[in-house]
Amino acid sequence: MDDLLKKIAEIKEMIISAINASKDENDIRAVKENLLSKKSEFSALGRYFRELSVEERIEFGQALNVAKEDIANRLSEKEKALLEALAEKKLKKERLDVTLPGYRYEDGGINPLLEVQDEILSIFVSMGYEVYEGPDIESDYYNFERMNIPFDHPAREMQDSFYLDKTTLMRSHTSPAQARMMDMKKGEPFRVVCPGKCFRRDDDDAMHSHQFMQIEGLVIDRGISLADLKGTLELFLKKLFGEKREIRLRGSYFPFTEPSVEVDISCAECGGKGCSICKNTGFIEVLGAGMVHPNVLKMGGYDPNVYSGFAFGVGLDRIAMLKYGISDIRDLYTNDHRFVKQFKKGRF
């Protein structure tokens, strides 16, 4: 009997040490399959019952049960420990260090072109103008014909643009928005400003870009005169560049205005004395303007004997460069963060 008890103890020790040595669930499975299955040495102990007396069977059975229980306890403890270790390992791997600094998003700035656009629009909105944006892709009809620039007109040469097909192009100025407004207003008086992108075949250098921005202005009513144009532009330019600026009108030519003028402001850099910015003239050209040509009025459905109007076109790039002291027009379009964020406020 003692031999049998010893055998139980030995087998149990062997199984428990195998359990203790298990490093993962595979080891545990191997223990279950090899040492605890029906064919295992441990299960085979049952065969001794037959050879024992009733009392011995009780003692042997109890010893066997105790051993079984010990093994089962050890096994479940080990399984639990392994699971916990596994969870711990996973947690460590997935650890999130909440003390790490996050990504820093730097504040940008508004592109100076848009800033200038906003400023100019709000000046005109405060004077009762509405805002209308025409399309960037324009028909030959609106871009040229309706602006009194027929097919063979030499003024087309200065405004060569990118054509999508024979009669569709990237608009070369915002003026076609004038004609579109007249069509929409159907003979009623109005005042409007039309901002937007324009495109022309041009050199790309510090002062020229194939893409640029304009704001078109148009007022149509009874009795509008050149004095209204001058007064409006003076007010506008002084609001934009400061009260000290003087304005100057020079005679010019545009097919869609008659008479036409080029408008200059006194140079902010030298105050009119002459410097490199104003090329020693004391003045800087900032926009083109004029009284709406009778042909343009007629094509738009307005009787030139009853209605008159003025129009102007401001190049925003020029204004932004002057206002912020920017020397290369291309900087306005590359959208380099380091450039853009400098212009949170203008110089004037």
Contact residues for ligand PHE, defined by CB under 6 A: 173, 175, 216, 254, 257, 288-290, 311-313
* Min separation Cβ 289 and ligand PHE, Å: 5
The CA-based angle 248-271-245, given to 5 degrees, is: 45
Is 194 or 278 the residue whose CB approaches ligand PHE more closely? 194
∠ CA 236-313-181, rounded to 5°: 100
Least distance to ligand PHE from the beta carbon of 345, Å? Answer: 28
* Nearest distance from C-beta of residue 202 to ligand PHE, angstroms: 12
Q: Which is nearer to ligand PHE, 112 or 313 (CB)?
A: 313
Nearest Cα residue to 147 out of 157, 135, 158, 155: 155
Q: Which is nearer to ligand PHE, 75 or 215 (CB)?
A: 215
Residue of 207, 196, 211, 200 lying closest to 117 (CA atoms) = 196
Strand partners, 286: none
Cα 220–chain centre separation:
38
Nearest approach in angstroms of CB 96 to ligand PHE is 58
Could you tell me the smallest distance in angstroms from the CB atom of residue 118 to ligand PHE?
Answer: 20
Nearer residue to ligand PHE within complex by CB, 312 or 343:
312
Smallest gap from Cβ 257 to ligand PHE, in A, equals 5
Dist CA 319 CA 332 (whole Å): 12
Q: Which is nearer to ligand PHE, 263 or 278 (CB)?
A: 263
The tokens for 3 are 């031999």
Q: Within the chain, where are the H helices?
A: 2-21, 25-35, 41-44, 54-93, 112-126, 140-143, 155-158, 176-185, 226-241, 294-299, 316-324, 331-334, 337-340
Shortest distance, position 254 Cβ to ligand PHE, whole Å: 4
Nearer to ligand PHE, 22 or 117 (CB): 117
Give the burial string for 161-174 (b: 16+ CB within 10 Å, else e): beeeeeeebbbbbb
Nearer to ligand PHE, 215 or 278 (CB): 215
The residue of the chain with the least Cβ separation from ligand PHE equals 313
Q: Nearest-CA neighbor of 212 among 335, 323, 315, 328?
A: 315
Least distance between ligand PHE and beta carbon 210 (Å): 14
Return the number of the residue (175 or 308) whose C-beta is nearest ligand PHE.
Answer: 175
Give how far Cα 277 sits from Cα of 213, 243, 265, 266, 274, Å: 21, 20, 12, 11, 8
Q: Are 330 and 209 in contact (CB under 8 A)?
A: yes
Task: Please give the torsion angle defined by the CA atoms of residues 203, 209, 213 and 217, in that order, rounded to the nearest 10 degrees.
Answer: -30
